[in-house]
Amino acid sequence: MASHDKVAIITGAGSGIGRAVAIAFLKGGYRTVLAGRRGDALEETIALSGVGQGRALAVPTDVADKGSVEKLFAKTKAAFGRVDVLFNNAGINAPGSIMLEDLALEDWRRVVDTNLTGPFLCTQEAFKAMKAQEPRGGRIINNGSISAHAPRPNSVAYTATKHAITGLTKTAALDGRKYDIAVGQVDIGNALTEMARRMTMGVPQADGSIKVEPVMDVENVATTVLHMAGLPLEANVLFVTVMATKAPLVGRG
């Protein structure tokens, strides 16, 4: 199936990585559904792509809400007839740099609801759509982050959810086989977005110091996700890490 026949859903498409990936999919010929909390930001992403409205659909969505996710997929199928790609990207962090023992329960739950329950709900709906459509199948790509491998100081909620995303990826990849659904994960390190801009001003390290960290252009992430999506369903990138070459992930910490 050519890219212009494929339909992709991108969550968190109003800013950062989601915005860059949504623009790449639109420019790559996909009919693209942009999901996020703010409709104005989604429309801005579409405008930045320069692609006509006929191939883009903005659907304000709260991924942590089951009814909202169901409406997202219903509107996608009503507009474009199918779902070929889901990029589970929407994510948040707890406010500030809060020590584990001081993190409020409501902040923990808010991160878990968005970063873990949200991708689970979207994956459920994607499975339902992909196994029922003709031709059958599709691809789900989860944004895992390098926090799925190594924590930063004072990041228990974010890091726990990103480790859990790895379990979701592995299980969905296994359970999706019988439906021709391929599931993979992209672990991203220091892509320059508004969320990651603090890296350029200095962030806490494991030894207690504050250091500036190297960053990379977010377009490298968009290119990677677009490549994963473009593979035939007989092939899958289960895990890939795309990161700033000099980011301090590999080493003694």
Range scoring the smallest mean pLDDT among 12-21, 165-174, 242-251: 242-251
Read off the pLDDT of each residue in 65-76 and give the average, rounded to a whole number: 98
Check: pTM over 0.85? Answer yes or no: yes
Query: So what's the pLDDT on residue 60?
Result: 98
Does residue 67 belong to any structural domain of this protein?
yes
Range of the domain at 223: 3-243
CA distance 175 to 179: 8
* pLDDT one-digit tens code per residue, 42-70: 999 999 999 977 899 999 999 999 999 99
* Closest to 236 (Cα-Cα) out of 178, 162, 177: 177
CATH assignment at residue 45: 3.40.50.720
Q: Has residue 252 got a pLDDT over 60?
A: no
Query: So what's the pLDDT on residue 250?
Result: 79
Does residue 18 belong to any structural domain of this protein?
yes
Hey, is 221 helix, strand or coil?
A: helix
% of the chain beyond a pLDDT of 90? 76
Written as one string, the DSSP assignment of 18-67 is: HHHHHHHHHHTT-EEEEEES-HHHHHHHHHHHT--GGGEEEEE--TT-HH
* Closest to 123 (Cα-Cα) out of 164, 69, 78: 69
Strand-by-strand arrangement of the 31-36 sheet: 56-60, 31-36, 7-11, 85-88, 138-143, 181-189, 239-243
Query: So what's the pLDDT on residue 126?
Result: 98
Query: So what's the pLDDT on residue 1?
Result: 58
Does residue 179 belong to any structural domain of this protein?
yes
Does residue 252 belong to any structural domain of this protein?
no
* Closest to 80 (Cα-Cα) out of 1, 165, 172, 170: 1
Does residue 127 belong to any structural domain of this protein?
yes
Does residue 251 belong to any structural domain of this protein?
no
Read off the pLDDT of each residue in 150-173 and give the average, rounded to a whole number: 95
Does residue 214 belong to any structural domain of this protein?
yes
Annotated catalytic sites, by residue?
158
Contact call for residues 58 and 22 (beta carbons, < 8 A): no
Does residue 201 belong to any structural domain of this protein?
yes
Domains: count for the chain: 1
